[in-house]
Each structure stands twice: as structure tokens, then as C-alpha cells.
Amino acid sequence: MDKKNALRAGALAAGTTLMMLLMSSPALALTRDDGDDPGTGLSVIETLGLYVFLPVGLFLGIAALVMIGDKSHKKKDVTSSNISTKAEAKA
């Protein structure tokens, strides 16, 4: 019974993927629409800067600000600082 369900799920996934590929015909992307003004393309450096370096830099900057803000508070743990773990009872 499990093999039948797995086969059915695989066939459904493959069929869905095939239909999506067939319906998305990239050849239509070459046809210009009226009023289309795409402008100039980005160079490799501009693309890497915009989609790789800028997000990584923003992530590191925000992470640094969070870490700085977290370390500015002194850690006060009043619930466990006064507990002694040594056994004081003598037999």
C-alpha cells in the first residue's frame, strides 16, 4: 500500500513539474511589449554587490548591533547566584 502511495505522489510531482515547465515558455520573454524600456544591464561586479555582498553586509551589521546591545547589560542572575552546591552535612 505504501508503494502505491509513493508512486502516486511521485507521478503527481513529476506531472506538476512538467506542466509548469511547459506553461512557462521562456521564448515569450524575447518579445518586447509596447512601452517596454528595460535600460542597461548590470555588470558582474554590480550584480554580486547587490545580491551577495549587500545582504551579507546588512546581516553582519545587524548581528553586530544586536551583540553589542546584548553585552551592554550586565548579567544578573539573582535566582541562582546565592545557591551553594557544597554539601555541608557531616555524618
Q: Which amino acid is at 84?
A: S
69 falls within a domain: yes
9 falls within a domain: no
91 falls within a domain: no
49 falls within a domain: yes
Q: What is the pLDDT of residue 82?
A: 61
52 falls within a domain: yes
The span from the CA of 19 to the CA of 8, in Å, is 16
Q: Which domain holds residue 59?
A: 43-73
53 falls within a domain: yes
Query: Which residue is it, cell 554580486?
Result: 48
Q: What is the pLDDT of residue 28?
A: 65
**H-run or E-run covering 4:** helix 2-23
50 falls within a domain: yes
Q: What is the pLDDT of residue 43?
A: 95
Average per-residue pLDDT for the chain:
82
Tell me how many domains the chain contains: 1
27 falls within a domain: no
